[in-house]
A = this chain, B = another copy of it.
Amino acid sequence: MSAIKVSAYRWVPPFAQGLVRDLRVRWALEEAGLPYEQRLLDFRDKPEGYRKLQPFGQVPTFEDGALVLFESGAIVQHIAERSTALLAADPSARARTMSWMFAALNTVEPPVMFLVQIDLKFADDAAAMRMREGAVDAVKGRLEGVAAWLGERDYLEDRFTAGDLLMVTVLRFLRHTDLVVSIPALAAYVSRCEARPAFQKALAAQMATFADNAPASAA
């Protein structure tokens, strides 16, 4: 029996812990009840040949026998297709879930990551801080789009799907700001999804790996 292998970093600095994108895959695997092994990498020193598995040198990859996949969105989709925990069987509901998966990663994540990069790399640059205002407005526009859509709903569609899974992992990137918490319905949505046992297991697994492999200087 071949086990699923997921690549992840052995350790990352605290600002990234709990956010690295293998979390998405771990969460999806937990929702689907599929066991997996980690393939741990050093984020500063990836093994020779890793780009044969992942053309951009990122994590995660997903290996299942001869099948090698990359991109957390595609891997979550692949897992979702094996489990009704993440994707309804009805074709229309399935297509709607795909809309939300791409919305999370192609409409909400880009302005979110732009803001995160300004905050991580340019926090001491006055001009970047002027750009930050526009970046914050762009993020707010997306968050308001999600919140307005949610309205009184518990999830983006009529049940938890892979679309919620990806959206929540994107919204988590904003934890260093008050942008999500200042929209109570959105904060409640994130908390609702994070309360799922599968999320808790996935997060614990990522954090345990970091704890086990923390460099002495970071202990």
Let me know if A70 is at the binding interface, CB within 8 A: yes
- From B106, B128, B142, B149, give the contact of A73 (CB < 8 A): B106
Chain B residue numbers with a CB within 8 Å of A109 are: 106, 110
- Give the number of copies in the complex: 2
- From B99, B117, B127, B146, give the contact of A70 (CB < 8 A): B99
Chain B residue numbers with a CB within 8 Å of A106 are: 71-73, 105-106, 109
How many chain A residues touch B (CB < 8 A): the figure is 48
- From B55, B66, B75, B142, give the contact of A146 (CB < 8 A): B55
**Interface 1/0s, chain A 79-118, versus B by CB < 8 A?**
0000000000000100110111111011101100110010
Question: Given A74-B95, A96-B69: A110 and B107 within 8 A (CB)?
Answer: no
Question: Given A101-B74, A105-B102: A55 and B128 within 8 A (CB)?
Answer: no
Chain B residue numbers with a CB within 8 Å of A95 are: 67, 69, 74, 78
Let me know if A58 is at the binding interface, CB within 8 A: yes
9 A-B pairs whose Cβ atoms sit less than 8 Å apart in the complex: A51-B145, A51-B149, A67-B95, A70-B99, A71-B98, A72-B102, A105-B106, A110-B113, A128-B131
Q: What residues make up the interface of A, taking CB atoms closer than 8 Å to B?
A: 51, 55-58, 66-67, 69-75, 77-78, 92, 95-96, 98-103, 105-107, 109-110, 113-114, 117, 121-122, 125-128, 130-131, 134, 141-142, 145-146, 148-149
